Structure 1
Amino acid sequence: MAPYFDDLAERLRAGGVPASEVSETVDELAACVAESGKSPEEEFGPVDELAARLSSSGDDAWEQALPDVPARRFFRSKRFYVFLSCYGAFVVVVCAGWLAFAPAGSRTGFLVGFLLGAVIAAVLMTVRLRRDHRRLVS
């Protein structure tokens, strides 16, 4: 853990914040910093000001401490995109292998099943995205 977060944890404990909330808060703030790629000072300001806001304000302290950054709609991570690329390549290899080596009569059935599955997945994803969008808008 960075010295910034060690100092923050000490100041929060001294400010009367319960230990379980201190560790949870520090972990959440560290995750925000790791995701943003900035230093803790750039993200949250001086440690003494952040500790004062978190320990004195009660429930709204968390909202005041977080930077004004819009939430991301979709998960974006290099590891996630690598996984999607590898999975897509695997599906293409399996489909190509099936079409190349399967008996002639089963090729059509495979393609129909694959396309039907892709359409069902697209419909389900569209329905979920629209439902989530409506919930966020309202």
Structure 2
Amino acid sequence: MAAMAPYFDDLAERLRASGVPADEVSETVDDLAAYVAESGKAPEEEFGPVEEFAARLTSPGDDAWEQALPDVPARRFFRSKRFYVFISCYAAFVVVVCAGWLAFAPADSRTGFLVGFLLGAVIAAVLMTVRLRRDHRRHVP
């Protein structure tokens, strides 16, 4: 991110000089920096020279912002690490509770439903863990 900072600092300065409100400048620059960090490309490669990109962003017209920004494909799945960690921890909790029920409940109360539920929870936890590791490997250089 340190190598990208001069590009975005220059862009913010040019946008402010063009009369774009400061809060809009910071929001735009933060969004663009996040996009570049996710894409893995250099800002110049993604948006072009800073002076041309700033000119496109500040050009008059109702849809100037939309025309200047690159097309970003919609994601099919929600990919927040916090979400996946929560789901994984919840699945682990369910597995522990079900395993405890199977281990300590009277023999006549061990139903097929509980065993099926436990099996489903284990499968869900394994699939979630595999997906997290695969996504982590994809995003780590």
Which band: TM-score by shorter chain? 0.5 to 0.7
2 CA distance for matches of 1:10 and 1:58?
Answer: 21
Out of 102, 109, 114, the position equivalent to 1:99 is 102
Gaps of 5+ in 2: 122-141
Distance in 2 (CA, whole Å) between partners of 1:58 and 1:39 is 28
Percent identical pairs in the alignment equals 89
- Classify the secondary structure of the residue corresponding to 2:111: helix
Report the TM-score when normalising by structure 2. Answer: 0.65
Deviates more, 1:45-54 or 1:90-99: 90-99
Distance 1:79 1:106, change over 3 A: same
C-alpha distance in structure 2 between counterparts of 1:12 and 1:69, whole Å: 22
Shift of 1:53: 0.7
The answer to whether structure 1 residue 31 and structure 2 residue 47 are counterparts is: no
Give the Cα separation in 1 of the matches to 2:33 and 2:113: 48
3-state SS of 1:20 partner: helix
Distance, in Å, in 2 between the alignment partners of 1:85 and 1:51 is 42
Q: How far apart are the structure 1 equivalents of 2:14 and 2:82?
A: 35
Could you tell me how far apart the structure 1 residues matched to 2:105 and 2:61 are?
Answer: 65
Q: How many residues align?
A: 115
- Which structure carries more relative contact order (alpha carbon 8 Å, separation 6+)? 2
Gaps of 5+ in 1: 119-138
Residue 10 of structure 1 and its aligned partner are, at CA, apart by 0.3
RMSD: 2.9
Distance 1:60 1:89, change over 3 A: same
